Amino acid sequence: MHRLSRFGIERLEDRANPAVVASVTPEGDLLVTGSTNPGQVAVVFQTAPNHFRVEEGGQLVGEFDVTRDVVAEFGEGHDQFDVVLNGFTAPRDIRLDLGGGSNGTIVGYGTARNVTVRAGGAVTDVDGVYLSFLQTTGRAAVDLGDAPSGPGIAGDVVKVTGSQFGTDLVLTNVEDLEIRDNTTIGRDLFIATAAGTDTNIAVGAAVGRNLAVVLGGGADDVALTGSVGGAAVVSLGAGDDELEAGAGVGTLLALGGSGTDTFLGDPDARGVFLFGFEL
């Protein structure tokens, strides 16, 4: 089984007083819940078709036969929760609600229908989501809630590598995004960031249909180095922003905002339409 690195969370709970509880609902979902205690480290491993093992801090919580979704509901602590499919196909969807606090999750190494990851909490919380070697037959969506605001303040992170999404990939309230060039998106990619935060957006994926990027205020860097089968629309918002678009982006409509906006490419290339750019 894949054993994954953690994100600086070291505190482990005594299993005599567990913070993580797992069970199978009458509908057939695997439900994993966490308390408000900080530093929970839990992993769901798929070990056979429809069979899952849940661990907390490296200790066994239980093994379960599952016929529907893998669901996580965590509280306000700073948690790490991973779903490792080990090359298997999940019965249906993966739905993770990481709650408040600064949380991390790795989801991947197998196939699911749809994947949803949500996190929220105070604007001082920083979340990290890693979709690694994940395949979906449907869509994936990540919403990281309120973001730390202000120039130079670290924001929420999403990293995608070696993944294939059957339909759409939707990423909202993310500030530091990297989608590697070994990733494909069957239909549309939508990215939205929070206002008032400096963002770094790097998309090297092959997007089957359309790409939309909507940025809030802040100094933003956007690099579109992959391919887009349809059109790419980028709204930069306020701040001093830079936009790079490679030759794989056939049609680009980019809207600048207040501040100095720079396009790194040929502004006269066929299919490139720029509005509100100074450089």
Give me the DSSP letters along 107-147. EEEEEES-EEEE----TT---EEEEEEEEESS-EEEE--S-
So what's the pLDDT on residue 34? Answer: 82
Q: Are strands 157-161 and 115-118 parallel, antiparallel or unpaired?
A: unpaired
Tokens encoding 181:
């060039």
Whether the Cβ atoms of residue 122 and residue 146 lie closer than 8 Å to each other: yes
Q: What digits encode the pLDDT tens for the residues 46-89?
A: 999 999 999 998 899 999 999 999 999 987 778 899 999 999 99
**How many other CB atoms sit within 10 Å of the CB of residue 59?**
12
CA diameter of the chain:
67
- DSSP string of 48-102, one letter each residue: ETTEEEEEETTEEEEEEE-SS-EEEE--SS--EEEEE-TT-B-SS-EEEE--SSS
Q: Are 118 and 145 in contact (CB under 8 A)?
A: yes
Model confidence at 263, in pLDDT bands (50, 70, 90)?
very high
Residue whose C-alpha is closest to residue 126's, from 108, 140, 146: 146
The pLDDT confidence band at residue 238, using thresholds 50, 70 and 90, is confident
φ, ψ at 65 (rounded to 5°): -95, 125
Instruction: Give the Cα separation of 272 and 215 in Å (integer).
Output: 19
pLDDT(277) > 60: yes
Residue 137 zone, left/alpha/beta (φ > 0; ψ -120 to 50; rest): alpha
* pLDDT of 153 over the 90 cut: no
Q: What is the pLDDT of residues 184-231, one digit of tens each?
A: 999 999 999 876 677 899 999 999 999 999 998 788 999 999 999 999
Q: What are the Cα distances from residue 32, in Å, to 82, 97, 178, 226?
A: 11, 10, 28, 37
Domain ranges of the chain: 20-224
